[in-house]
Chains A and B, each alone.
Chain A
């Protein structure tokens, strides 16, 4: 097991290099460090010296990918790409191009992100499983059919409309919660309520449908039929046999997103003005702050890879037949 984990972590290195290369390319294909400096310093009255100084301070004064002047390995190491990537692997995010400490920003903004994403995730899954189980109880009836049509209807509504409708009715018309914004401390729940509710509701359609399929697959298996043939009550079958076994594929499929919860949701945070990591990244993209974007993409990839690893491990935990090698 330990050997497997270590090997997977080593495999992660080329992937992370690839991720870095891609973000790097996307940023510098059209943007030169020169232009970045001018954007950051403000367009007017920028002297050549100021630009050079800005680049030197932030380490953008070297060639991008290959240094023709340096010799040997220096051709690759004395470049912006190498130096910037290397510090990321040590999880040293450095300073943003605007001069802020990225690690401190992340630490501060992680909590609001988590405060929205975690409840949405947990409540969302529980609600979906409950609904799916309820529908499976009445399977192949008119209730089942109409519930599925309702689910397809819910899935066909753009997430943006859920946000708009939620903000309009809950916040504006009925003044139950603030429209957007965030406060730390005990008052935070008032700001969190709406984003979490919207997040849960917008996932109900797709989630219930998917979980229903998984439960139904389980409900058609032989052992379930045997249980019924023995005279076990329908509710007992549902909760003792179908639910625990149907949970296996559900849990293993959601494990992958758990680490990424830290990153928050880009959309929900920008809609509701929550100062989390999602809106942080979005703002950085719009301000063309390469240092922040690079760090966030890197962090996101690391968390995703951890999620994949956790998925593999969770398979062995729930199913003893699976061995990692």
Chain B
């Protein structure tokens, strides 16, 4: 596909994530049609924490999605035969949005908002002789005429951009608010407005400021840390969603059929999950990841671009993570199905001669949705955290791929330096913490709304 002077180059994970979004849309349609599910979900969104954390997750997902449209740029020089060549690396839509942070690499570390390098260097003085001092950064604060204005410049620029973004955001909120007055809605609008404006202001501030400074400093090779941390959003979000997606069919299919059919099917399923459970999870993951590494090494012809290789490993990692963690949900579903299939209405359906398939689809599956939903949302944050640990011990995503785990891994050596290079750890920490916290809070709300035990007792209010 050729549009303008780029060529679309979708990675496997891109295709999977867009399929996922499509199925999510289908899910939303079914929820809206079903009155009971709609009631439950509106309970989630009517809580302040629920809607605020959902907005934050939505923002992360949007960033990940814009980072999932990859294309190759056309190279300037055309070949002799008029043949068109494309850049060997892929660019994403997000890279275009983050353009101010790209191509402004310094030599090495520099602190957030610094205008001088972090390490001393020998420099030749104009009047002869050599001195050791912190050299001026090439890009950070290069617009300043006078270095003494540094501090004032940051404050003035921040104020300007915050002011300029707050005005349209406030107008938007005001318009929406006055329109909403006519219709009654129970959504906690003040919290939604606040979260929305916080997200918009912070992201536009960071984007604007990074035209002039390195907002979160630069790393060892002089790359902007903020750029890396934002690129890692895709890795985190995708690993959470894709791995969850892998667990779902396995757990649902095996769990429900074990509980419903019993007999030898139950024995086989129980055998499979006990066997998988009894192997320490990390061992299984590490062994599988090494296997993938060997496969990539022995089949280089299948991976044209470097990012194809990294992406293959990434998708494989999602599958492995999913394969090793479906057993918990499977067990829950099996127990629940065992219980459900004893109930009168299922017995009645059998007596009426309803086929087994229809019984499962109409009577069993809908009544286990709350379990599936709770497990899905809970797993998401678990996978995001697991990525960091796995990358840290060297069996995670490819080192060439930006991820929070890889950032932390690199930061290991930086923390031993004197003075400490703290910004890349902090950047990874904050971005990851916000996502996982939002996911955890959201899953709490989902559990409160969907778990029959919770809604009965009313403790968790």
Contacts and interface: CB of A to CB of B under 8 A. Distances in A.
Interface string A26-40: 110111000000000
A164 interface: yes
A158 interface: yes
A282 B393 contact: yes
A308 B278 CA distance: 10
B459 A158 contact: no
Contacts of A286: 290, 394
Given A18-B271, A30-B298, A159-B385, A297 B393 contact: no
B287 A14 contact: no
A30 B291 contact: yes
> Which bucket holds chain B's interface residue count?
35 or more
Interface in A257-302: 260, 263, 266-267, 270, 281-282, 285-286, 288, 293, 296-297, 300-301
Contact of B279 (A29, A155, A301): A301
A63 B335 CA distance: 42
Contacts, number: 117
Interface in B259-276: 271-272, 274-276
B86 to A, nearest CB: 32
A94 B275 CA distance: 23
Contacts of B272: 18
Contact of B283 (A18, A216, A300): A300
Contact of B440 (A156, A270, A293, A308): A156
Interface in A108-158: 139-140, 152-153, 155-158
Interface string B419-442: 010000100010011001101110
Q: Interface of chain A, helix or strand or loop or mixed?
A: helix
Contact of B290 (A22, A153, A217, A285): A285
B18 to A, nearest CB: 28
A164 B283 CA distance: 23
A218 B454 CA distance: 14
B388 A160 contact: yes
A157 B439 CA distance: 12
B286 A158 contact: no
A297 B392 CA distance: 22
Nearest to B288: A26
Interface residues of A, number: 47
Contacts of B444: 152
Contacts of B415: 164, 167-168, 172
B459 A216 contact: yes
A285 B415 CA distance: 27
A160 B275 contact: no
A52 interface: no
Given A158-B389, A267-B389, A300-B283, A22 B275 contact: yes
A129 B241 CA distance: 33
Given A18-B271, A160-B389, A172-B415, A301 B283 contact: no
A139 B459 CA distance: 9
Interface-centre pick from A14, A139, A158, A260 (highest chain B CB count, 10 A) = A158
Contact of B287 (A26, A260, A266, A270): A26
Interface string B280-314: 10111011101100110010000000000000000
B416 interface: yes
B457 interface: yes
B381 interface: yes
A308 B283 CA distance: 20
A128 B25 CA distance: 41
Contacts of B408: 158, 160-161, 164
B277 interface: yes
B279 A23 contact: yes
B393 A270 contact: yes
Contacts of B392: 160
A304 interface: yes
Contact of A267 (B277, B278, B282, B416): B282
A156 B283 contact: no
Contacts of A161: 408, 425, 429
A239 B277 CA distance: 36
A159 B389 contact: yes
A164 B425 contact: yes
Given A159-B385, A267-B389, A15 B275 contact: yes
Contacts of B294: 30-31
Contacts of B295: 30
A256 to B, nearest CB: 10
B328 to A, nearest CB: 13
A198 interface: no
Interface centre among A27, A156, A172, A300 (most CB of B within 10 A): A156
A263 B283 CA distance: 12
A220 interface: yes
A14 B291 contact: no
Contacts of A301: 275, 278-279
A305 interface: yes
B291 A304 contact: no
A155 B384 CA distance: 12
A151 to B, nearest CB: 10
A296 B440 contact: no
27 contacts: A15-B278, A18-B272, A23-B287, A26-B284, A27-B287, A29-B291, A152-B440, A156-B381, A156-B433, A157-B429, A157-B433, A158-B408, A158-B432, A160-B392, A217-B457, A220-B459, A267-B393, A281-B283, A282-B286, A285-B283, A285-B287, A285-B290, A296-B283, A300-B279, A301-B275, A304-B277, A304-B278
